[in-house]
């Protein structure tokens, strides 16, 4: 009996050891990703407006974070995105997609999506729905949650489709749902005031960080008080008084 138990334990140890050194055997894949705190796992929507830029631009680039799954490579590889159902923008007119080469040894990559300030942007909000395209190097990657490790900043959500709303108008940014509590309800005139006071055009958490959420509302309240003392209430495009919480 003791001999049988000993053999069983040895066999179990070798089995565990073999399992621990097994390597990834699946296809190399690619998917969109965001950290859970960004809530993109729920909305999977981003937005861009040429109206929010500090100067008029004919073209601009939005960088899309991608997660690579599979083995790391010591060779360059190619990544391509494609449009999916629900797209109302026109490729080559409102945006451009191109195959991009990524450097060796990376597991995350920012894909450069080129946005074009076309004539229709002044009066329309166009939607671009993207998904990873299969190339010689990649297929669709793992979807769902990637737990936090020492190699990343927190739990991530990997997803297949990303929606981007692009316009030349002052439209509510997709990330504003994270700003309501600290900056109040969105309006175009409020946004213009924020840009004028703070000198930036992107108020997403990625850009302003925790310090921005804490300090910027104070700066804006003080600036608004100074404006009102000199000019009276600041009204938005709907004739509502602008305020900050």
Which two three-digit tokens encode residue 104?
């060796």
Confidence at residue 184, expressed as pLDDT on a 0 to 100 scale: 92
Q: What is the value of pTM for the model shown?
A: 0.72
Task: State pLDDT tens for residues 131-175.
Answer: 999 888 888 877 777 666 655 566 777 878 899 999 998 888 878
198 falls in which pLDDT band (50, 70, 90)? very high
Tokens 């909305």 correspond to what residue?
A: 43
**Continuous H helices in 102-204:** 180-183, 188-198
Per-residue model confidence (pLDDT) at position 42? 52
Residues carrying CATH 2.60.40.2030, the chain: 29-167
29-167, CATH topology level:
Immunoglobulin-like (2.60.40)
The Cα–Cα gap between 48 and 63 comes to: 11
Please give the average per-residue pLDDT across 189-194, as a whole number.
Answer: 92
129 pLDDT more than 50: yes
For 6-39, how does the pLDDT look when each residue is reduced to its tens digit (9 = 90+)? 444 444 444 444 444 334 455 788 888 876 655 5
Least confident of 63-72, 152-161, 225-234: 152-161
């Amino acid at each position: 009996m003791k001999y049988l138990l000993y053999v069983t334990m040895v066999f179990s140890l070798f089995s565990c050891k073999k399992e621990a050194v097994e390597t990834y055997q699946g296809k190399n894949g690619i998917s969109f990703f965001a950290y859970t705190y960004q809530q993109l796992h729920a909305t999977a929507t981003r937005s861009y407006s040429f109206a929010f830029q500090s100067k008029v631009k004919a073209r601009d680039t939005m960088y899309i974070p991608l997660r690579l799954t599979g083995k790391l490579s010591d060779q360059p590889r190619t990544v391509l995105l494609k449009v999916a159902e629900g797209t109302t923008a026109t490729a080559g007119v409102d945006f451009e997609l191109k195959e991009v080469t990524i450097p060796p040894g990376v597991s995350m990559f920012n894909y450069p999506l080129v946005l074009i300030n076309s004539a229709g942007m002044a009066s329309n909000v166009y939607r671009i729905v993207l998904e990873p395209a299969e190339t010689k190097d990649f297929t669709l990657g793992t979807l769902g949650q990637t737990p936090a490790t020492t190699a990343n900043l927190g739990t991530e959500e990997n997803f297949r489709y990303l929606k981007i709303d692009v316009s030349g108008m002052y439209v509510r940014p997709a990330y504003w749902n994270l700003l309501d509590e600290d900056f109040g309800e969105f309006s175009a005139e409020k946004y213009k005031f924020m840009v004028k006071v703070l000198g930036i055009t992107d108020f997403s958490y990625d850009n302003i960080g925790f310090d921005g959420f804490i300090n910027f509302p104070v700066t804006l309240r003080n600036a608004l008080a100074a404006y009102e003392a000199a000019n009276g209430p600041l009204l938005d495009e709907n004739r509502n008084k602008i305020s900050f919480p």
